[in-house]
Structure 1
Amino acid sequence: MVSCNIFYLSILLLSIISIQKSNAEFSTEDCAALGFIKANLLCSSCDQLKDFSLDELVVHCKECCHKDVTAPKEKKYARAVLEVCTCKFPAYPQIQAFVKSDRPAKFPNLQIKYVRGLDPIIKLLDKDGIVRDTVAIEKWNTDSVEEFLRTHLDKEEDDDRHYLKTNQI
């Protein structure tokens, strides 16, 4: 009977130790003392420490990091329409700079539409021409607009454009 109790007691003790080890994650203060910002630290960054011969930091880094979550795949759209009012250009100089630059030409599936009185927006359309999303861009700069379009627009492979580029009959 005594050996049975010792057995169960040892199993209980091992269970408690393993639970404590699994909850032994460092606090925010502990991580800050080690030079890690717990809220922003991804575990994939810890693996990069080895590249700089900082192997001794990897264990502590792993105690402070968050598991990497695979980024959701960016949604792609067939076309976009940037709608803006020219009378509001003075209020949105960055949007005006984008529209009047050569940047829109980089996106053959982007249409610029002038709508009186409208704050600048981008409408994102599917391949059937149905508006799927609308994004307000009044606070964006020219680089943000270009990056957004590069990220969210499909590369257009229009047959007519292909014909003109390759000069085929």
Structure 2
Amino acid sequence: MFVVHLLLKDTNMLKYFLLLIALCACTTYAEFTTQDCRELGFIKAQLMCSSCEKLDDFGLEAIKTHCKECCTPDKQPAVQRRWPKAILEVCTCKFRAYPQIEAFIKSGRPAKYSNLQIKYMRGLDPVVKLLDSSGNVQETLSITKWNTDTVDEFFETHLEKPAGKNSGKSAYSVVEEEDNDYLETNRI
């Protein structure tokens, strides 16, 4: 009470007090900047809000509020979409640059997905094309930064399980690029 009385007598002090309150309100409700989040150990562009919810499982409740201030809202609905078919396109010449993709392809993991096609395309960085039931490409995803387990988990989560007597069939298809010269279109 005494402090408020002193503030009201001195108008300059009142202005500073109101400015201080305004600044506190702004910082309380302002979103952290990318730099603020980086200093806290979060990468704002890559942190999804659903990840913040998992912090409790690891005893990290103390950083959950900062995590929520740095996260990007999840754009996917609660039910994830499953695709009838997928094509993993990659160039074998790029296996040195992407050993995790080579490891996935050469392991037995692709055999779990009968609706997965591996297509070798000259000069192409690894991508996954998700197709609808008509075989039309609906989404294309770069998987250059994915590890072997992430690729496997993605197909497990996003590929439909084939129904019928061939549902347990472990056969995926591999398509070699046609033997045509890829520079043929540059010829005069």
Superposed CA deviations along residues 59-81 of structure 1, whole A, max 9, x for unmatched, are xxxxxxxxxxx952111100100
Q: Report the secondary structure of 1:154's partner residue.
A: coil
Q: Quick one: distance in 1 between partners of 2:62 and 2:130?
A: 43
Aligned to 2:78: 72
Q: Quick one: distance in 2 between partners of 1:163 and 1:144?
A: 22
What percent of counterpart residues are identical?
50
Q: Are 1:81 and 2:61 matched, yes or no?
A: no
Aligned to 2:48: none
| Runs of 4+ with deviation above 4 angstroms | 162-165
Aligned to 1:129: 135
How far is the alpha carbon of 1:38 from its aligned partner?
Answer: 2.0
Provide structure 1 residue ranges, at least 5 long, that are not aligned to the other structure. 1-26, 29-33, 42-69
Q: Report the secondary structure of 1:87's partner residue.
A: helix
Spell out the pairing of 1:85-164 with structure 2 (5 A cutoff). 85-159=91-165, 161=166
Query: Of 60, 64, 68, which residue of structure 2 is paired with 1:37?
Result: 64
Q: Report the secondary structure of 1:37's partner residue.
A: helix
Residues 127 and 39 (structure 1), Cα distance of their counterparts in 2 relative to 1, 3 Å cut: same
**8 Å contact 2:161–2:167 — kept in the other structure?**
no
